[in-house]
Chain A
Amino acid sequence: MAGGGDPKWQKDASDQNFDYMFKLLIIGNSSVGKTSFLFRYADDSFTSAFVSTVGIDFKVKTVFRHDKRVKLQIWDTAGQERYRTITTAYYRGAMGFILMYDITNEESFNSVQDWVTQIKTYSWDNAQVILVGNKCDMEDERVISFERGKQLADQLGVEFFETSAKENVHVTDVFERLVDIICDKMSESLDSDPTLVAGGPKGQRLTDQPGQGPPNANCNC
């Protein structure tokens, strides 16, 4: 199902080109650099002839991780609030989120909590999140210190990077780390309940606070 549907860990039997496929989403306020970040990673390019994303786009990249071919399907989303109705529909089935803000834009940083709420509400429980402060090449215009970013990430219980799509700083690192923590989560789930392809027992939620989010009682998985 386009974006919706089941988290897909195992390869499609007909496709011999990869062992796993992970669906990842890049989210965050408008103009924080989501599309540039994706282009840097997928095409290793950066252009200052920016475009705004209307709706939702995606790119694919296959990486090798722990001797496995992992196909990453990376979805790039429109940041304007009005589009969240479309974009949150694609949260379903996403295994990882790159939640991005712009270190030169306080508003985008202040919205991080809102985005986290959206992830909690609309995504799969085991989805992994990395917080990313982009545009770290623009030191002169920085308004969010590294420490503030790190502190927020710690508070949310997620990992944190500062990146620059323009200067290619830590872009690949973010994706590699996200793939790693998804792999960890996956093996953890499979170890504890091999009968399930996906789902598995409840893992750590974003902040792992009991009583938050949807109740578990009705779920047999």
Chain B
Amino acid sequence: MTRYDRYSLSTDQQQQKQTLNSPSAAAAADRKLDTVAVAPGTTMTDEELLLLERANAERDEIFLRYDQGRKCDSIDAWEDPMFEVYTQADRYGFLHPVAPAQSKEAELLQHRIEMERVKKWVKMHKNWDAAATKENLRRRVMKGIPDRMRSAIWRKLLDLDRQIRENGGMYDRMLDCARRHSPDIRQIDFDVNRQFRNHVFYRERYSVKQQSLFRVLAAYSMYNTEVGYCQGMSTVAAVLLMYFDEEDTFWALDVLMTNQRYAMHGLYIVGFPKLMRFLAHHDRILTKCLPKVKKHLDKHEVHSVLYSLKWFFVIFIERIPFSLCLRVWDIYMMYGERVLTAMAYTILKVHKTKLLRMKDMDQVTDFLQTSLHKQFGYDDDYVIKALQSSMDELKKLKLLNLPPPSANELPTMPRGQTVEPSTKARIGHRNEQFSEREIALKETVLYRSESKNEEEEEQYNNGVQGAGDRAATAEDEDDERTEKDYDDITEDTVSQLHTVSDMDGGSITKHSLTGTSVTSTNDISLTSYDRTCDIFRLQASGQHPSSRDPPPAGTTSAVLLLDQLAAQLSDEELSSYGAAVELMLDDEEDDGAAEAGNPVQRTKERDTGDDVSLVPEESEERELDPMEQSATDPSPNGQTNPTIMLHSPEQQQPAVDEEDEDELTEKQLSF
């Protein structure tokens, strides 16, 4: 039996499909049909016609199954996981083989705290535009939005009401359009089938939430055709769907993708240009603030693209515990992209000692990719405090904000146009050759993973020397702008990003990226090959490949890119590192009063203080770096220094007591 046979719909099925479509949807479909821009008359081969027909039938069938939902008679036995092995769901709906470890008392206490907080949040929500709300919001978001208020508050932070008001009917139109044309349905189906199957919402195949997730992603693939659908988006949308209904999720997803504050668009488009910027900035922060960890990771070949990709793509989902992740999401909703690199830094900072003890790539990667998700080792409040400190520290160092985006990270086409995808895209052929943008990313990944610190540092220094003053001014301005953003957040929450027309030479869409010149692909393969040979030669002669210069031709684009990035930096080299240390644990003003009467908290602060006092030591070490780097001495500087000890997670006191105290004091003070 061929695939084609499987997807030929019988007449019965066709009729069934008709009756499933609501009359209004069908009417809308008829209307929209006329406005769909049909691709200019292209002639297709018989084979293409056959494949196209098959692709269309497949799309229809997948849609049909989601329309039927649980009534669908073609659910394979294996598609419903045997969840009888799970006995317990946590408060967020995730199912666990064993009951979550939290004690009854701790649960009650947490509940009590949250109930107290809910009152304040209800009040803030009611008076969203009030000055008092503005004042309190920043501080309270850092303490976590009570789970039952998340939906309402995220809605405000993302300004969803306005989105929906201004775009009435759009969601249904896009969904209808997807039903007819989306080239991404197969991939979306694959991923919906694999998204959070350990969660009550998504455990059943074609459950109500699986249906919603499928439709949101399908509709979005037509609404923002430059992104279409990219793996990772299902995770983001699935979390949003835990708090929003279907249409709200669609708009929340769009805000996260296209609003400047978040701009995930650039992460997911072909070539992942924003990922490059995140990785470069993350490495810059590590070089500056955690040089030992950076060297240690480099020595063991654990490069940032390996462990941090999911941090940035899906905002730490399934890399840290879900409860902590939601706290990060709260802060991300408020402050946007800068939270991601600050959190990435925080994770490595709080686990510095542990990381430095790990002796190989497997351990480090397993720790960062798997262990931290199961058990972070520090309670959520502690980590969020550390995140706040990191943000303060990075702000002092002018490393909080990322360098400005390159032009190709932003949408270049208006969204919500009904454009028929190319035949090739609809059939689902993989492109044989890389687009220019893809080549740039690949070379950057290669370059980043093969360059030694020296090279990168050199690039960076050159850039700073070259354009130091100009860049410093730029970053100051940027700081001001975003500071204003903080202040205005309750008034003008979201301003839609204007689409950039004709940026980067015009129509860059995933459909128009197919025609890549043969030459460039050949260049790459030659380069890779030459470099491989070089590596062998150098190995034989006992040299390390990266010690040779100049870099091979193929890395030019990456080098240029790093140069550009570096040129956009301020003169961070000159900023005082010591000053940041003082601020590292500078707590929120209102916390001081509560802490004064709380011995547990005070002990904790002292411990952490000891931890921080080590930073100047690193600072000294940094000054020595250029000398070490110029020497070819391979002895690693990133070896564990036994004197550098973070207090172990086991020593952590649960922070609930402190929070409780904190809350009560805050209550007395503010109400």
- Interface, chain A (partner B; CB < 8 A): 1-6, 14-15, 30-31, 47-58, 60, 73, 78, 80-86, 88-89, 92, 105-107, 111, 114, 117, 121-122, 124-125, 143, 166, 195-199, 213-215, 218-221
8 A-B pairs with C-beta separation under 8 A: A30-B187, A48-B81, A85-B272, A88-B442, A89-B305, A106-B2, A122-B528, A197-B539
Measured as residues with beta carbon below 8 angstroms from the partner, the interface class of chain B is: 35 or more
A199 & B301 in contact (Cβ 8 Å cutoff):
no
B194 & A106 in contact (Cβ 8 Å cutoff):
no
A3 & B449 in contact (Cβ 8 Å cutoff):
yes
Of A52, A199, A221, the most chain B CB neighbours within 10 A belong to A52
Other CB < 8 Å A-B pairs besides A218-B530, A221-B537, 19 of them? Answer: A4-B446, A30-B231, A47-B81, A48-B82, A49-B83, A49-B197, A51-B194, A54-B314, A55-B306, A55-B310, A56-B305, A58-B365, A81-B430, A89-B445, A121-B528, A197-B540, A199-B539, A220-B533, A221-B533
- Give the interface SS of chain A, mostly helix, strand, loop or mixed: loop
- Closest A residue to B6 by CB, please name it: A143
- Closest A residue to B304 by CB, please name it: A2
B442 & A52 in contact (Cβ 8 Å cutoff):
no
B306 & A56 in contact (Cβ 8 Å cutoff):
yes
Inter-chain contacts of A53 with B (CB < 8 A): 231
Inter-chain contacts of B230 with A (CB < 8 A): 80, 82
B245 near A: Cβ within 8 Å?
no
A218 & B3 in contact (Cβ 8 Å cutoff):
no
- Closest A residue to B451 by CB, please name it: A1
Interface residues of B in 400-435 (CB under 8 A from A): 428, 430-432, 434
Inter-chain contacts of A56 with B (CB < 8 A): 305-306, 309
- Give the interface SS of chain B, mostly helix, strand, loop or mixed: helix
Docked CA distance A15–B81 (Å) = 40
What is the minimal beta-carbon distance from A140 to any residue of chain B, in angstroms? Answer: 9
A221 & B431 in contact (Cβ 8 Å cutoff):
no
Inter-chain contacts of B530 with A (CB < 8 A): 214, 218-219
Of A6, A80, A89, A107, the most chain B CB neighbours within 10 A belong to A89
B68 near A: Cβ within 8 Å?
no
B486 near A: Cβ within 8 Å?
no
Docked CA distance A218–B521 (Å) = 18
- Closest A residue to B5 by CB, please name it: A143
A198 & B301 in contact (Cβ 8 Å cutoff):
no
Q: Contacting B536 at CB < 8 Å: which of A6, A50, A60, A85? A: A6
Q: Contacting A121 at CB < 8 Å: which of B360, B365, B521? A: B521
Docked CA distance A6–B190 (Å) = 35
What is the minimal beta-carbon distance from A74 to any residue of chain B, in angstroms? Answer: 11
- Closest A residue to B79 by CB, please name it: A48
- Closest A residue to B302 by CB, please name it: A2
User: Top 8 A-B pairs ranked by shortest CB distance?
Assistant: A199-B536, A214-B529, A55-B309, A2-B303, A219-B533, A49-B197, A89-B445, A31-B190
Docked CA distance A187–B146 (Å) = 62
B524 near A: Cβ within 8 Å?
yes
Docked CA distance A48–B85 (Å) = 12
Q: Contacting A81 at CB < 8 Å: which of B359, B431, B446? A: B431
B190 & A30 in contact (Cβ 8 Å cutoff):
yes
Inter-chain contacts of A6 with B (CB < 8 A): 535-536, 539, 545
A57 & B430 in contact (Cβ 8 Å cutoff):
no
A80 & B231 in contact (Cβ 8 Å cutoff):
yes
What is the minimal beta-carbon distance from B221 to any residue of chain A, in angstroms? Answer: 13
Inter-chain contacts of A92 with B (CB < 8 A): 446, 528, 532
B564 near A: Cβ within 8 Å?
no
Inter-chain contacts of B81 with A (CB < 8 A): 47-49
Docked CA distance A15–B300 (Å) = 12
